[in-house]
């Protein structure tokens, strides 16, 4: 699947199938500070992602100064 990452913006290919939580764990991204959007739709941690999905992993932490 195609995975879009932020900060900085980049795209990587990841072998499917796997759940959202497994994908975040594999990329060492905390679940508490990210949302996952699959094919334009917000999905929960147990959602199963397929090899042809386009996935965005969006960080939600802001500087807050």
Partner 1 sequence: MAASGSKCRSCGEPAVIDLPRHNANFCAEHLLQLCRRQLHKAIEDYDMFGSDDRLLVAVSGGKDSLAVWDMLVEAGYRADGFYVGLGIGEYSDESTRYVTDFAEQRGLHLISADLRRDFGYDIPTAARATKRVPCSACGMSKRHLFDKAAVDGGYDVVVTGHNLDDEAAVLLGNVLHWDIEYLARQLPVLPARNGFPRKAKPLVRLTERETAAWCLLRGIDYLVEECPIAAGNRHLHHKSVLNTIERESPSTKSAFYLNFIDNMAPLLAEQTAAASGDLVECARCGAPTTGETCGFCRLVDTARAHEPVPVDLVLGKRGRR
Give the binding site for partner 1 (CB under 8 A).
Answer: 6-8, 20, 30-35, 37-39, 41-50, 53, 58-65
State in angstroms the smallest separation of the CB of 37 from partner 1: 7
Minimal CA–CA distance to 14: which of 27, 26, 1, 23?
A: 1
d(CA 15, CA 60): 25
State in angstroms the smallest separation of the CB of 63 from partner 1: 3
State the DSSP H helix or E strand holding residue 16, giving kind and residue range, or none if neither.
Answer: none
State in angstroms the smallest separation of the CB of 39 from partner 1: 7
């Amino acid at each position: 699947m195609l995975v879009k990452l932020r900060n900085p913006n980049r795209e990587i290919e990841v072998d499917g199938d796997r759940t959202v939580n497994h994908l975040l764990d594999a990329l060492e991204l905390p679940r508490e500070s990210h949302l996952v959007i699959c094919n334009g739709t917000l999905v929960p941690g147990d959602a199963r992602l397929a090899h042809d999905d386009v996935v965005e992993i969006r960080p939600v932490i802001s500087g807050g100064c």
